Amino acid sequence: MRESAIKSQVTSSRVLPAWVKSVACGAIAVGLLGTAIGLVTGRSDEIWWMLLVNFLFWTGVAQGAFIWAAILRTAQATWAAGVNRLAHAFVGFLPFSLLLYAVLYVGRHHWLTWLRHPVPEKAAWLNAPFFFLRDGMALALMTALSYLLVAWYRKGEAALQTGEGDLHRAHSRANKLATLLVILYAVLYSLIAFDMVMSLEPHWTSTLFGGLFFVGNLYAGVALLILVAAVVREPLGLTDYLGKRQFIDLGNLMLGFNIFYTGLVFAHNLTIWYGNLPGEVVYLIPRVYQYPWRAVAWFLLVACFLIPFFVLQFEEVKGSPRRLCPIAVLVLFSMWVQRWMMVVPAFSPHRLAGLTPLAWCIPVLCAGMMLWVVATSLARNPQVSSLDLALRLDGVGAAKCPD
């Protein structure tokens, strides 16, 4: 009886308009051409700096959006079947991130400052073979486990559809892997932050920086989920699973992580400020006290923190996709700017570098690839997961049953 009820609710058979993939392919073509020209000509290191910025942002937001499915599964969220389906769609971007990582390895001499100016006391950690091996393994492990979670979902759904599945076993397996993914995400993306951002200024250290980075990815990830949900819910017939209640919950999550992320940024910068140690203020001074980057810091204070905080106090904003989407766009753009300000002042503290026309082809390429993988995933399998619907029908008890 329960399995038949679950099957009856997985009803979406609609598809996204064909022009979505056309736009994605056009963006990929334009972005790939411009990026290739910029990298091959090698006239400026700025193209490589912007490749690093966009690798960090787009990889982070894709993995962050996906990790929300693992977080909601770990929390046994009964309202999130539609959100989880959208989050799973971002897994297809992660192999592209590995490709970008390989390209960054090829151009490592353009952006790894400690290759040009070695730091002997840190040579055991900051050496190219070990650096790229450990970060590559971290990215590959997160990619593999993310795909495994989706595969286990599909296997459980197929078994339930044929009536041969064990619902309790499927829940238990998904719960354990989701929990593991959440833990590894925090650990491994802290490593990425320490290596690929903090080491650009190798004499500077901050123990808070890893948390600052992976929490920022989650903040941007929930904003991206809101945008995708607002766009696809009607074409895919998912309004029953992505209705007002779900948007209010997503808006509350974005508000919560706005506060959390703001607190981490404040704690991170305050610790550097009152410590006033030469090895620490080297990060803060060009980004907060000196122009032109000081103006970027003021923009981030308003766009990334203050505006979302005040606007998201109102339930009528969070419950309306039309009103919530502009805030989500603002959060995504400001988080991209934040990644830009994390990276580029290490190379160019006295000017706003990296904004050449060819450099803008890189985010176009990444955005096109993101759109293509999400559209492809939703076209192949638009319906919500029966495993998530089982939580909705049975409550959390079904997921707490023993193996």
Q: Could you read off the pLDDT of 152-172 as tens digits, one per residue? A: 888 888 777 766 666 777 788
Q: What is the model's pLDDT at position 47? A: 92
Sign of CA dihedral 289, 293, 299, 302: negative
Burial of 191 (0-12, 13-18, 19+ CB in 10 A): middle
Q: What is the model's pLDDT at position 164? A: 64
Mean pLDDT of the chain: 89
Domain residue spans in the chain? Answer: 13-116+124-383
Q: Distance (Å, rounded) from C-alpha 116 to C-alpha 17?
A: 49
Q: Distance (Å, rounded) from C-alpha 232 to C-alpha 183?
A: 30
Burial 335-357 (b: 16+ CB within 10 A, else e): bbbbbbbbbbbbbbbeeebbeee
Q: What is the model's pLDDT at position 329? A: 97
pLDDT band at 279 (very low <50, low <70, confident <90, very high): confident
Helices (H), 163-242: 167-196, 209-232
Q: What is the model's pLDDT at position 354? A: 82
Q: Could you read off the pLDDT of 362-381 as tens digits, one per residue? A: 999 999 999 999 999 998 88
Q: What is the model's pLDDT at position 14? A: 62
Those residues whose C-beta lies under 8 Å from the C-beta of residue 56, and which sit 6 or more positions away, are: 192, 196, 197, 339, 342, 343
- Of 401, 363, 303, 314, the C-alpha closest to 100 is 363
Q: What is the model's pLDDT at position 195? A: 95
Report the amino acid identity of residue 21.
Answer: K
Q: Could you read off the pLDDT of 108-138 as tens digits, one per residue? A: 999 999 998 888 999 999 999 999 999 999 9
Q: What is the model's pLDDT at position 397? A: 41
Structure tokens belonging to residue 127: 């050496």
Helices (H), 75-208: 81-88, 94-106, 108-111, 113-116, 128-162, 167-196
